[in-house]
Structure 1
């Protein structure tokens, strides 16, 4: 089993792909050309050093959404961990042995234009969980069969200076319950309970926190996302940048609402497709 790390996070834009892409470009992200999955969905990526952010939905306004993403509102709904080469089937078996309801590994692809102008396929294999296994969102593992078609140098430079994912904050009713689920998935040593009642999953270069709803509301205030019917949900994405002041200037030039406090540049969910974003050094 490889190093525990986040592979990517997913922001659902539903049938407003063009609008979502324009919003994230204004936030200072360079996006990949739109891709179309063999599963029937469309996406744009903001590719970082070892992880990325995915805008996911359909490119057809008013179009039908993929069944597994259709129940979710706009916003941050997907937390994806890296599955390493050849690991997917063994991972599925291990999860099930630990009482985690993993679904069978699924393969899919999307066409991609290669640097030389020819066409190739970005290929993936994922192991997803039943929705009852985690928060009210999508948690799964992704094995990249063709990582060279995702992490391309020309896609990894962003005007806002983003380098990678630093933090994911979940707003939950019971952090201990979420901690117990994480222990079954990742092992007891990967999870700690803090004195303030937050459960923390430590992954390479980042942390996934599960905090009570009241604590998240107090931390985020008016910048918080709309739960839109979700119970336990992803509330905030923290991104590491080269320079917070430069990121702030980038957003100011684009006239994006943001607030700086204690070295954190925060973009409220209402201006970022129902996704609260922190830029940190």
Structure 2
């Protein structure tokens, strides 16, 4: 594998032991969530499935926090940047060549009840970048062995009209340094340098953005309360078919929001330690 093409598969929001509260919050934000799933590795989740990517609320149920314990060391909020692959083992070899490899690719699964009531296992192989290369979170590749157990049309319809994740935002004192690992991973030609100093990577339906802490605060409002200026995943942008649906969902969910020419904003405090923005398709 001489090169990888960056494409966002999904994002992970670390909710720890707050799965119930996080699911309630994201339903109030206007997302349809799947029923709670339980990974063979011990973690549990809810998903919001979109056209070609998805959002994962990842946590654990009572008495299971000792399983996958390393996951819960990241700050609460946005903690996982996950890329698509059709071959996790080939990615691992690529990571070895780029001196970015951690553990070899691993397999796991979770049972799923499909909309028609049938049972299936959603099966995956994942491989991650070295943990020390990704401060305050994880970045890894996910190979879906059973994509139909994830991308069900019935799960892709949301009260807020969202069609896909369009932005993944990382704040840092030094955006160039924060983006450097992805230049090493994908090739420097995949990292765009803007006049503002921002770095961007096109990732399929989304763009991954690396902003200075000051610029991130100016664009996205107050950052997570415990943000200390280090490199951290802090915000998500979504595309929606209808801002009116976003307004209705947030009003019904009693979620405060603001609006400007970029779209409808939900602060990090109301978004569960990450800022959210909804913009029209």
Check whether TM > 0.5. Answer: yes
Q: What TM-score, normalized to structure 1?
A: 0.93
Which residue of structure 1 aligns with residue 239 of structure 2?
A: 240
Residue 62 to residue 93, structure 1, CA distance change in 2 (3 Å): closer
Secondary structure at 2:108's aligned position in 1?
Answer: strand
Secondary structure at 1:23's aligned position in 2?
Answer: helix
Q: Distance in 1 between matches of 2:214 and 2:115?
A: 48
Deviation of residue 61 (structure 1)?
Answer: 7.5
Q: Is the 8 A contact 2:115 2:154 kept in 1?
A: no
Residue 215 to residue 116, structure 1, CA distance change in 2 (3 Å): closer
Residue 61 to residue 229, structure 1, CA distance change in 2 (3 Å): farther
- Aligned pair 1:189/2:163, yes or no? no
Secondary structure at 2:6's aligned position in 1?
Answer: coil
* Deviation digits for residues 12-71 of structure 1 (CA, Å, limit 9, x no counterpart): 110011111000000000000000001100000000001100000012278435223120
Report how many aligned residue pairs link the two structures.
278
Secondary structure at 1:68's aligned position in 2?
Answer: helix
Matches within 5 A, 1:30-69: 30-60=32-62, 63-64=65-66, 66-69=68-71
Secondary structure at 1:154's aligned position in 2?
Answer: helix
Q: Distance in 2 between matches of 1:125 and 1:182?
A: 21
Which residue of structure 2 aligns with residue 216 of structure 1?
A: 216
Q: Is the 8 A contact 1:244 1:263 kept in 2?
A: no
Which residue of structure 1 aligns with residue 122 of structure 2?
A: 122
Q: Distance in 1 between matches of 2:8 and 2:130?
A: 19
Residue 155 to residue 255, structure 1, CA distance change in 2 (3 Å): same
Q: Is the 8 A contact 1:18 1:59 kept in 2?
A: no
Q: Distance in 2 between matches of 1:61 and 1:241?
A: 38
Q: Is the 8 A contact 1:73 1:228 kept in 2?
A: no
Deviation of residue 135 (structure 1)?
Answer: 3.5
* Deviation digits for residues 230-271 of structure 1 (CA, Å, limit 9, x no counterpart): 821011100111112321222112221111111410111111
Gaps of 5+ in 1: none
- Aligned pair 1:147/2:123, yes or no? no
Q: Distance in 1 between matches of 2:229 and 2:149?
A: 34
Deviation of residue 3 (structure 1)?
Answer: 4.9
Which residue of structure 1 aligns with residue 26 of structure 2?
A: 24
Q: Distance in 2 between matches of 1:208 and 1:250?
A: 26
Matches within 5 A, 1:242-261: 242-261=241-260
Aligned alpha-carbon RMSD (Å): 1.8
Residue 74 to residue 136, structure 1, CA distance change in 2 (3 Å): closer
Residue 263 to residue 184, structure 1, CA distance change in 2 (3 Å): closer
Q: Is the 8 A contact 1:135 1:172 kept in 2?
A: no
Gaps of 5+ in 2: none
Q: Is the 8 A contact 1:14 1:65 kept in 2?
A: no
Secondary structure at 1:25's aligned position in 2?
Answer: helix
Deviation of residue 229 (structure 1)?
Answer: 6.0
Deviation of residue 228 (structure 1)?
Answer: 5.1
Q: Distance in 1 between matches of 2:72 and 2:136?
A: 13
Residue 227 to residue 186, structure 1, CA distance change in 2 (3 Å): farther
Secondary structure at 1:237's aligned position in 2?
Answer: strand
Matches within 5 A, 1:107-118: 107-118=107-118
- Aligned pair 1:202/2:199, yes or no? no
Q: Is the 8 A contact 2:221 2:267 kept in 1?
A: no
